[in-house]
């Protein structure tokens, strides 16, 4: 065991800094002669200073649209950030990762279907092995399909629930307990204005996004005493490939980069403040 025990694996080869857990360990070892195991039990929140300054940020749905924009803004603005980019399309993820690397981030892709329980379990163990506990979980992956209630197939409805809601539950269950144990973390759940107000044709999507709203409120209630901040995000129409062919001009919507910027600004607040909800709309209102 080295003085850097407890550091994220990605930081283990870096030099200790004054006042880090290593020096605390040496002082305690000298003063009371506890063995390493006893020290680890007695002082569990092991964390290297590099980790706090160089967060590990996991983004689902990072292969395009708002998720890719979030990756770009974190890569550009947070020096030393490590990005865990998750989606199913590895080729698109690789393109986003390359751009993030050029912007100065460590960016790695982890192709995964986040609505599938065993795939998420595999993802969690691969990420843990590579990066240790993550600092920020951005549950952004989602999908829209609209149809009136009577015309929506059960398969379509299930697809909406799986992509937009089940995914948030599975990812949070896989990654949040470690944050809570460590006493620090940030979670962003992507809802939508469709998770605040219903509209015709939104049977599957609105049901799923209202579900994300409810799940986020539960997470906030459970995690507020554990150092984990939970923010639920409600964007209105935002330009992304999901709008292609819809016949709505991009200028009538918000740019994905503006929505992404809100995540970064909220993350950067001091840790005694939490933004529980972000509602963003195009200046001209909903479509
Ligand atoms: N654009 C808007 O107007 C708007 C408004 C409000 C809320 N939102 C929400 O914002 C989020 C992003 O939207 P967007 O417009 O950027 O959509 P998008 O362009 O269609 O991107 C969706 C992303 O989610 C990923 N994804 C979908 N299902 C997945 C699954 N099962 N497992 C892993 N990744 C999956 C997709 O990647 P792969 O296909 O490669 O897996 C893609 O990266 C969604 O949750 C959406 O509901 C969007």
pLDDT per residue as tens digits for the range 235-263: 999 999 999 999 999 999 999 999 999 99
- Give me ligand 1 centre to Cα 113, in Å: 12
- Give me ligand 1 centre to Cα 68, in Å: 10
- Give me the percent of the chain exceeding a pLDDT of 70: 82
Ligand 1 atom nearest to CA at 205: 47
Instruction: Please give the mean pLDDT across all residues of the chain.
Output: 88
Question: CA dist 161 to 82, 141, 158, 224, Å?
Answer: 30, 12, 5, 26
- Give me ligand 1 centre to Cα 79, in Å: 26
Higher pLDDT, 224 or 12: 224
Q: Which residue has its alpha carbon closest to ligand 1 atom 40?
A: 89
19 pLDDT tier (thresholds 50, 70, 90): very low
pLDDT of 282 > 70? The answer is yes
pLDDT per residue as tens digits for the range 212-239: 999 999 999 999 999 999 999 999 999 9
pLDDT of 2 > 50? The answer is no
Gap between the Cα atoms of 101 and 37, Å rounded: 38
- Give me ligand 1 centre to Cα 11, in Å: 31
- Give me ligand 1 centre to Cα 45, in Å: 34
pLDDT of 3 > 60? The answer is no
pLDDT per residue as tens digits for the range 103-126: 999 999 999 999 999 999 999 999
Residue 246: closest CA among 235, 237, 259, 234:
237
Q: Which residue has its alpha carbon closest to ligand 1 atom 15?
A: 240
Q: Which residue has its alpha carbon closest to ligand 1 atom 43?
A: 61
Residue 87: closest CA among 105, 61, 57, 107:
61
Ranges 3-12, 170-179, 201-210, 275-284: which has the least confidence: 3-12
pTM of the complete model: 0.87
25 pLDDT tier (thresholds 50, 70, 90): very low
Mutation probe of ligand 1 site: the residue of 86, 141, 196, 237 with most atoms within 8 A of C-beta: 141
Strands 238-239 and 56-60: unpaired
Q: What does CATH list as the number for 54-280?
A: 3.40.50.720
Ligand 1 atom nearest to CA at 144: 47
The two tokens of residue 274 are 């939490």
Look at phi and psi of residue 33 and say left if phi exceeds 0, alpha if psi is from -120 to 50, else beta.
left
Q: Which residue has its alpha carbon closest to ligand 1 atom 42?
A: 61
pLDDT per residue as tens digits for the range 44-91: 444 444 455 799 999 999 999 999 999 999 999 999 999 999 999 999
Residue range(s) occupied by CATH 3.40.50.720 in the chain: 54-280
Q: Which residues does ligand 1 sit against, CB inside 6 Å?
A: 60-61, 63-67, 87-89, 92, 113-115, 140-144, 163-164, 167, 190, 192, 235, 237-238, 240-242
């Amino acid at each position: 065991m080295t003085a850097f025990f407890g550091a994220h694996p990605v930081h283990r080869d870096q030099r200790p800094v004054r006042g880090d857990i290593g020096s605390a360990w040496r002082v305690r070892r000298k003063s009371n002669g506890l063995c390493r195991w006893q020290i680890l039990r007695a002082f569990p929140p092991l964390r290297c200073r590099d980790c706090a300054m160089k967060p590990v940020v996991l983004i689902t749905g990072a292969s395009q649209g708002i998720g890719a924009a979030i990756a770009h803004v974190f890569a550009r603005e947070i020096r030393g950030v490590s990005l865990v980019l998750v989606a199913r399309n590895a080729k698109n993820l690789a393109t986003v990762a390359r751009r993030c690397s050029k912007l100065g981030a460590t960016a790695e892709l982890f192709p995964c279907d986040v609505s599938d329980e065993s795939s998420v379990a595999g993802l969690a163990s691969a990420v843990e092995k590579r990066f240790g506990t993550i600092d920020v979980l951005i549950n952004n992956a989602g999908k829209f399909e609209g149809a009136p209630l009577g015309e929506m197939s059960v398969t379509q409805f299930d697809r909406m629930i799986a992509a937009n809601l089940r995914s948030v539950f599975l990812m949070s269950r896989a990654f949040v307990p470690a944050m809570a144990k460590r006493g620090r973390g940030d979670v962003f759940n992507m809802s939508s204005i469709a998770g605040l107000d219903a509209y015709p044709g939104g049977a599957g999507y609105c049901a799923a996004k209202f579900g994300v709203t409810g799940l986020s409120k539960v997470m906030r209630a459970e995690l507020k005493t554990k150092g984990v901040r939970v923010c639920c995000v409600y964007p209105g129409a935002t330009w992304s490939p999901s709008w292609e062919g819809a016949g709505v001009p991009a200028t009538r919507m918000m740019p994905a980069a503006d929505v992404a910027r809100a995540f970064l600004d909220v993350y950067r607040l001091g840790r005694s403040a939490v933004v529980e909800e972000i509602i963003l709309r195009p200046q001209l209102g909903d479509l």
